[in-house]
Amino acid sequence: MEVVGAGYSVYFSALSELANMVSRDSTYPKWAEKLSVLNYPRLLIIDEVGYISLDSVVSYFVFSLVCQRYEKEAMIWAPNKEFADWASVFAGDEVLAAAILDRLLHHSTVINT
């Protein structure tokens, strides 16, 4: 990947791995530490969005992550669901899914394959 070759930091994770990381310990100090780690790289890549449904705690963590990175650092999300179906990924919360998508799609290029 050219980004890595250019010296930029990159973090790659499947959404399920991110969910497991958050679920192991969702206390505030650990949550803040995890957000710090995920906010450091210039590019964050989240794969396999839609293969699992997140609970409300992990969904809110993802929202917090997206909000903190929004308009600051690059993100690539690789979903297997249409945007209209993202509420099913984020604990069935249509408002939260819409807020996440609003931030992800602003200034974005969507590539359909």
In 6-78, alpha helices (H): 15-24, 28-39, 56-69
Contact 54, 22 (CB under 8 A): no
Average per-residue pLDDT for the chain: 92
Q: Please report the pLDDT score of residue 3 as a whole number.
A: 67
10 pLDDT above the threshold of 90: yes
110 pLDDT above the threshold of 80: yes
Report the alpha-carbon distance of residue 10 to residue 96 in Å, rounded. Answer: 26
Contact 89, 49 (CB under 8 A): yes
Question: pLDDT digits over 53-66, tens only?
Answer: 999 999 999 999 99
Q: Please report the pLDDT score of residue 25 as a whole number.
A: 77
Lookup: tokens for 66: 């997206």
Is domain 2-105 classified as CATH 3.40.50.2020?
no
User: What percentage of the chain exceeds 70 in pLDDT?
Assistant: 95
Question: pLDDT digits over 54-102, tens only?
Answer: 999 999 999 999 999 999 999 999 999 999 999 999 999 999 999 999 9
Band the pLDDT of 49: cuts 50, 70, 90.
Answer: very high
pTM here is 0.90
15-24 and 56-69 helices, crossing angle to 10°: 110
